Amino acid sequence: MKRAGLLIKLGKYILIIAVVIFFLFPIYWLFITAFKPSDEWFAWPPIFFPRQWTLTSFIGGGGGVYEIGSIKDALPYLRNSTVVGLITAALSTIVSAMAAYSISRFKTGGTKLAGWIISIRLLPPISAALPLFVIFKALKLLDTWWALILTHTLITSPLSTWILITFFNEIPKELDEAAYVDGATLYRVSFASPCLWLLQELQL
C-alpha cells in the first residue's frame, strides 16, 4: 500500500512537470529563436540550443539565410500601436462607463437596450468595414489615428459596457441615496459611489 501510494504521488509529480514543460516550451522557443542566426530557425532536426548567439534579430543584418531589419524600423509601428491602444482604452472606458451607469441605475432602455448592445459584439467586425470606410472618407479621416481609434472603440465598447453593467449592479444603491442626502449632485454621485465601494471592498 505504501509503495503504491508513493508510485501514485510520483506519477502526479511527473504529470505536473510534463504539463509545465508543455506550456512553457513555446516561451522558451521564442526566447532562443530571438538569439539564433536565421539559418537555424527552420533547421531540421530542430536546434534546441543556439550554436551561435547573435543579436541580428534586434539590430538587423544578415546573420544567416534571411536579411533582418533593425528593431528601429519597428519603432514607428510600436508608437502608433501604443498611442491608438491607450486612447482607445480611455475612450472606450469613458463611453462604456457612462452607458453602463445609465442602464444600471436608471434602467435606460430596459433590458432590451443592454441585450442590443452586447448583440453588436456578436457581429463580424468585417461587416462594418465598408460603412466605416465611407464615413471616414467623407470625414477625411482615412490613414489617421482617429480612424483606428474610433473603429476599435466601436468594437470594444459593447463588451466593456456589458461588464460594467454587472459592476454597477453590485454597488449598493444606498451609497447613492446617502450621497444625495448629503447634497451631492448626480455627476458627483456617479463618480464617488463606485470609488467609495471599491475602497470598501479593497479594505476587506
pLDDT digit string, tens, across residues 163-198: 888 888 888 877 777 777 777 777 777 776 676 666
Cis bond upstream, residue 37 (ω within 30): no
Q: How many CA atoms lie within 13 A of 109 on its CB side?
A: 13
pLDDT at residue 51, rounded to an integer? 78
What length is written for the chain?
Answer: 204
pLDDT tens-digit profile of 112-142? 887 888 788 788 878 888 888 999 999 998 8
* Residues whose CB falls within 8 Å of the CB of residue 164, separated by 6 or more in sequence, listed in order: 96, 97, 99, 100, 101, 104
The pLDDT-based confidence of 61 (bands split at 50, 70, 90) is: low
pLDDT tens-digit profile of 10-50? 888 899 999 999 999 999 988 888 888 777 777 788 888 88
pLDDT at residue 72, rounded to an integer? 64
pLDDT at residue 85, rounded to an integer? 93
pLDDT at residue 99, rounded to an integer? 87
Q: Among candidates 45, 164, 146, which has minimal Cα distance to 100?
A: 164
Could you please report the per-residue DSSP string of the chain? -HHHHHHHHHHHHHHHHHHHHHHHHHHHHHHHHHTS-GGGTT-SS--SS-SS---HHHH-B-SSSS-B--GGGGHHHHHHHHHHHHHHHHHHHHHHHHHHHHHHHH-TTHHHHHHHHHHHHHS-GGGGHHHHHHHHHHTT-TTSHHHHHHHHHHHHHHHHHHHHHHHHHTS-HHHHHHHHHTT--HHHHHHHHHHHHHHHHHH-
pLDDT at residue 90, rounded to an integer? 93
pTM over cut 0.75:
no
Q: Among candidates 3, 181, 56, 155, which has minimal Cα distance to 193?
A: 181
Residue 68 pairs in a beta bridge with 61
